[in-house]
Amino acid sequence: EQVPQLVVSVPSVPNCSSCCRLPGCECIWTDWIDISYPDSSDRNGGDYETLENIQKYNSSWVCAKVENISCRAEKFPDIPIADLGQTVECSVDVGLICNNRDQQIGGIIPMPVCLNYEISVCCTPNRPECLPPDHTPTTTTSTTTSVISSTISTTASTSVLTETS
C-alpha cells in the first residue's frame, strides 16, 4: 500500500518585515566595545570603533548582521553623542568613526580631537534561519509522512483441500 506523503517547501526566512522574527532570532546586545583610542597628537588620527577593526582585533567575534548600534563617549556615558559637539559617524553599516580633523574646540571639548568612544551592537544570531534572505537564498524542504489507518471488516472463509494420489 502506498503511504501518502506531504512535501512542503518553506523559505528558511519568513518574507516579512523586521518586526517579524523567528523564535531565538532576536538580536543580542554586546558588551561595550572599545578597541581604538584617539591619539591627540595625530591630526589625521581619530577613534575607529569600526566593525572591520573589531573583527581584526578579535577574529572569533561573529556578528551575522548588526541590527542596531549604540555609541557613547567613554568619559561621558550618560550624555548623548549628539550633545557632545563632535562630528561622529555611528551606523550599523560601519560602526563608529571619529576623525580628529573634523573636530573643533568648544563645549566640553578642550582640544580639537576625538573623545574616546565605545560601541555596543545588537547582533542577529549566526544561524541560517536568522539571516536575511540575501545571505541565505535557499529553501528548506521538510517532509511529513501521514499514515492513514482504516478499519476493514473481512469475513473469514475456510477451505479444506484434500490431496488425492
| Phi, psi at 112, each rounded to 5° | -80, 60
| 106 occurs within a structural domain | yes
Task: Report the C-alpha dihedral over residues 96, 100, 105, 110, rounded to 10 degrees.
Answer: 90
| 17 occurs within a structural domain | no
User: Chunked in runs of 10, what are the mean pLDDT values of the chain (165 residues)?
Assistant: 38 46 85 95 96 92 92 96 93 97 82 94 89 52 36 40 49
> For the whole model, what pTM was predicted?
0.66
| 112 occurs within a structural domain | yes
| 93 occurs within a structural domain | yes
Q: CA 22 to CA 18: how far, in whole Å? A: 10
DSSP state letters, 103-163: --SBTTBSSSSPPPEEEEEEEEPS-GGGS-TTT---EEEEEEE------------------
| 3 occurs within a structural domain | no
Could you tell me the residue range of the domain that residue 36 belongs to? 26-126
Q: How many domains does the chain have?
A: 1
Long-range contact set of residues 84-87: C-beta below 8 Å, sequence gap at least 24: 84/108, 84/109, 84/115, 85/109, 86/114, 86/115
| 144 occurs within a structural domain | no
| 164 occurs within a structural domain | no
Q: Can you give the pLDDT at residue 19?
A: 54
Task: Report the C-alpha dihedral over residues 13, 92, 76, 118, rounded to 10 degrees.
Answer: 90
Q: Can you give the pLDDT at residue 61?
A: 86
Q: Can you give the pLDDT at residue 21?
A: 66
